[in-house]
Amino acid sequence: MRLSLLSSALMAGSCLAQGDLGALLASQDDLSTLLELVGLVDGLADILSAASNITIVAPTNEAFAKVPRDIPEGEAIEFKNDTVSVAALLANHVFKGVYPASVITDIPTFAQTLLNDSYIIPRQPFSNFTGGAYNGLVKNGDDVCIISGEQTVSTVTEADITLGEGITIHKIDTVLSFGAPFQLFTYRAGYLAMNGALEAAQLNFDFGLTGADEIGLNISDFTIFVPTDEAFESIGSVLESADMDTLQEVLRYHIIPNNVIFSPSLGNVTVKSLQGTDLVFTVLPDGSAWVNNARITFPNNILYNGIAHVIDSVLSPGEFDRASLKPSANASERLAFPNATSVSSLPFTSVTFGGDLMTYTTTPELLQTVAAVATPTKGGNANMTTSSGLPMATGAGSGLFPGVVLALSMAMAVAVFMI
Residue range 93-121, pLDDT digits in tens: 999 999 999 999 999 999 999 999 888 88
List the one residue out of 118, 110, 161 whose CA is nearest residue 137: 110
Q: Which domains does the chain possess? A: 2-179+401-417 (2.30.180.10), 182-369 (2.30.180.10)
- The answer to whether residue 407 scores a pLDDT higher than 70 is no
Confidence of residue 81 (pLDDT cuts 50, 70, 90): confident
Residue range 143-160, pLDDT digits in tens: 999 999 999 999 999 999
C-alpha–C-alpha distance, residues 79 and 86, integer Å:
11
Q: Which of 17-21, 186-190, 240-244 has the lowest mean pLDDT?
A: 17-21
Under a CB-based contact definition with an 8 Å cutoff, are residues 192 and 347 in contact? no
Per-residue confidence (pLDDT) for residue 3, from 0 to 100: 26
* Residue 276 three-state SS: coil
| The amino acid at 66 | K
List the one residue out of 198, 178, 195 whose CA is nearest residue 186: 195
Under a CB-based contact definition with an 8 Å cutoff, are residues 184 and 149 in contact? no
C-alpha–C-alpha distance, residues 371 and 152, integer Å:
17
Distance of CA 74 to the CA centre of its chain: 20
List the one residue out of 120, 188, 194 whose CA is nearest residue 152: 188
**Mean local confidence (pLDDT), 179-200:** 93
Under a CB-based contact definition with an 8 Å cutoff, are residues 407 and 48 in contact? no
- The answer to whether residue 12 scores a pLDDT higher than 90 is no
- The answer to whether residue 381 scores a pLDDT higher than 80 is no
Total-model pTM: 0.86
Per-residue confidence (pLDDT) for residue 125, from 0 to 100: 76
Q: Which of 83-97, 194-208, 267-281 has the lowest mean pLDDT?
A: 194-208
* Sign of the dihedral defined by the CA atoms of residues 42, 48, 54, 55, in that order: positive
